[in-house]
Amino acid sequence: QPVSQFVADFIGESNFLSGRVERGDGHLYLVTQEGWRVVIPVSDSLRPGEQVSVALRPERIVIGDGSGDNVVEGTIEEIIYVGEATKFRVRLEHDRWLTVKQPSRLETMRWRRGDRVRLSWSAADAVIVRDSSGGGA
C-alpha cells in the first residue's frame, strides 16, 4: 500500500530510490534515473509511467550472497557499531548510497571498510512512497 513521504519519514530511517513504474514479466519495476530496474511490490494503484519512490528500511537489506529479488553491488565506506547492531554505509554506482543495518554477530564483523559487497532485498520489503504534493493520502 503506497504511503506519503511524511509517513515514511515518520516511520524512521529509510533508504529511498526514485523513478518511474514499469510492468513486465509479471512484476512491477521501479526504473531509476541511473537505469536500475528494482522489483517492487505489485499494487493495483500503480500505473506504468507513474513517478514514485521506494522506501527500504536498512535492516531489510542483506549483505552477502546476493540472493533476493533485488541485488546491487557496492563498496563499504563506513561501519558504525551501535550496540547490538552494526550500520554500514555502502556506495553504489553513480555515487548512490544505501545504509544497511544488521545485528552485530560474528559474520557481520568480517566486513571491512573498502570491501566490495553484494546487497540484496525482497520486493515485499520495499514500501511505495508517493509525493505528498501529489494529492495522495
Do 51 and 19 contact (CB within 8 A), yes or no? yes
> pLDDT tens string for the chain (137 positions)?
445 555 555 556 889 999 999 999 889 999 999 999 999 998 888 999 999 999 999 999 999 877 889 999 999 999 999 889 999 999 999 999 999 999 988 777 889 999 999 999 999 999 898 765 444 33
First to last CA, the chain: 11
| Domains, the chain, ordered by start | 3-131 (2.40.50.100)
Burial label for 3, CB within 10 Å (0-12, 13-18, 19+), is: middle
Please tell me the predicted confidence (pLDDT) of residue 134. Answer: 45
